[in-house]
Structure 1
């Protein structure tokens, strides 16, 4: 949602600024400039990346525009504490029903390994290997947009050169000369706008979303290993609370009820 708001604000502020500067909005109706900038940017991406990665472009754009809902750190800690209570009171096999209801494949895989009685070191190695693979995929996704942000402004210069070439061919016709010069700068405008207001910010947003997801997955791994080690719910909570900011940590540290503590002790 913030991405959509930011794009709308950028278009409005830049558009109003152009009007205040006396620039006619009709000058933006330049198909050649749009073709050079956006068409050239996508063509460059096809040269730079394999088709398997280019196909992810619409999916990545959807992720940026409509951020996927992830559990908060506090919600994850609460879930891990509840699962540790189940594991200590009913046994790890009782987690099977919980695992069937989980949609996150990473978390589900970890719970299933606990249920299957996997070796702790082997489980830790598998989960962290999967975490590295996820981080690498995310890195490639953000790289596509950061590269687009590098290509677009340069293509804006190319569009300006094309416009100036057209202008030099119309030195005797002042109307065509003015239109060609304006078209040249429109290409530059679109290149800078798309590069620094669209592609680079989207790349940064993907990096932020990736970091948030990876941090949650690290918490998942630590929580799953704590459950497998048979730690008490209180220790599981303390172990995971270190990932919370100080203020959130104080809110999180509510004591487990005496009944629950007696059951799992």
Structure 2
């Protein structure tokens, strides 16, 4: 079961509090840091560059992956429960046959375990089961690496557009430099 991970929200709040506190200690007005034009250049430019590099579907998958980070698995407890169920299943299979694995495969939420149990129910050989599950894990890992590369691309492009925004801001300041007041 997945539940909301409050530590992510706490980490963001701590970062914002540190930023605001530092600005307050230096007597800075936070309004100086907010420029909609610069935000549009950095945000829009980065998004556009990432869409060109990864495509719309890749960007949406990366956003979904980031959104899912706020939920965490209660993994240790769920692993213990799953192991206990699998031990019970192996004992039941001795008396009831391999088809009991198929009924449990329909009930489990873990698709990897479900696939392994379905292969067991079909009397597949252990090396074959291992190979199928290894391929599935490798595929899931490659999908996750694609999502990571999308976020890496955003991290690579954002500073470039930040510099572009700073240059445009400097141009607008220099344009009115000869008009004091």
Short-chain TM bin? 0.7 to 0.9
- Kindly provide the CA deviation profile for residues 217-252 of structure 1, in whole angstroms up to 9, marking residues without a partner as x: xxxxxxxxxxxxxxxxxxxxxxxxxxxxxxxxxxxx
Listed as ranges, the matches of 1:1-265 within 5 Å are 1=5, 2-67=7-72, 69=73, 71-72=75-76, 73-174=79-180
Shift of 1:42: 0.7
Q: TM-score, normalised by structure 2?
A: 0.86
- The Cα shift of 1:28 comes to 3.1
Pair 1:86–1:70, CA change in 2 (3 A) = farther
Would you say the 8 A contact 2:89–2:100 is kept in 1? no
Q: Give TM-score scaled by structure 1 length.
A: 0.61
Residues matched between the structures, number: 174
Q: Deviations over 1:15-65 (max 9, x none)?
A: 111121121012233110110111111111112112221221331121122
- Structure 1 spans left out of the alignment, 5+ residues: 176-265
Structure 2, unaligned runs of 5 or more: none
Which structure carries more relative contact order (alpha carbon 8 Å, separation 6+)? 2
* In 1: Cα distance, 2:180 partner to 2:85 partner: 72
| Secondary structure in 2 matching 1:171 | coil
Cα RMSD of the aligned pairs, angstroms, is 1.8
Q: Is the 8 A contact 1:37 1:159 kept in 2?
A: yes
CA distance in 2, matches of 1:47, 1:132: 27
